[in-house]
Amino acid sequence: MSVAIGRSVVVLATLSAAACASATDSLPISPSPPGRQAVLAPIDRLDVRVLESSPPQYVLSVRAGLPSGCAEKNRHEAERVAEAIKVTVLNWMPTVATPCTMIYGSYELNINVGSDFRRGTTYSVSVNDKKTAFVAQ
């Protein structure tokens, strides 16, 4: 009798693990974790770097802030229209009032914006609330 119960427990555990694994594999990843929302990240630094290549590659060096212990890095999105490059950097924050530590953190992003730039042309760059410009080489 105890052997039968032991086998039943093993079978149930195996079925449960298989069900969890297959459910996790087949479900799409949620764009927003439960109880979290995407918010603009504060931008502490924005620089444009030129990589030594032919043609020159341009990389935005960004330091984004995590304004509290509840903030988490989310994602960034970049778009270019003519001579304007716009980048949106997002953090995750709780959707409801939550006690958070008041520790300010930050993270670095290096965003490659490519090499398709006309020499001598000025390009504007905006990342959330920060702006800069560069002249293509």
Please check whether residue 59 is in contact with residue 49, taking contact to mean a CB–CB distance below 8 angstroms. Answer: yes
91 and 57 in one domain? yes
63 and 23 in one domain? no
90 and 131 in one domain? yes
Please check whether residue 28 is in contact with residue 13, taking contact to mean a CB–CB distance below 8 angstroms. Answer: no
DSSP-assigned beta bridge partners for residue 80: 85
What is the model's pLDDT at position 34?
Answer: 80
CB-based contacts of 66: which residues, under 8 Å, 6+ apart?
41, 72, 73, 91, 104, 105, 106, 107
What is the model's pLDDT at position 31?
Answer: 63
67 and 9 in one domain? no
40 and 25 in one domain? no
Burial 19-30 (b: 16+ CB within 10 A, else e): eeeeeeeeeeee
41 and 25 in one domain? no
Q: What is the pLDDT of residues 52-101, one digit of tens each?
A: 998 999 999 999 999 999 999 999 999 999 999 999 999 999 998 889 99
Q: How many domains does the chain have?
A: 2
> pTM of this prediction?
0.73
130 and 64 in one domain? yes
83/33: higher pLDDT: 83
41 and 79 in one domain? yes
Range of the domain at 75: 36-135
Where would I find the H helices in the chain?
2-26
62 and 26 in one domain? no
Q: What is the pLDDT of residues 53-62, one digit of tens each?
A: 989 999 999 9
d(CA 70, CA 89): 17
Please check whether residue 132 is in contact with residue 45, taking contact to mean a CB–CB distance below 8 angstroms. Answer: no
52 and 8 in one domain? no
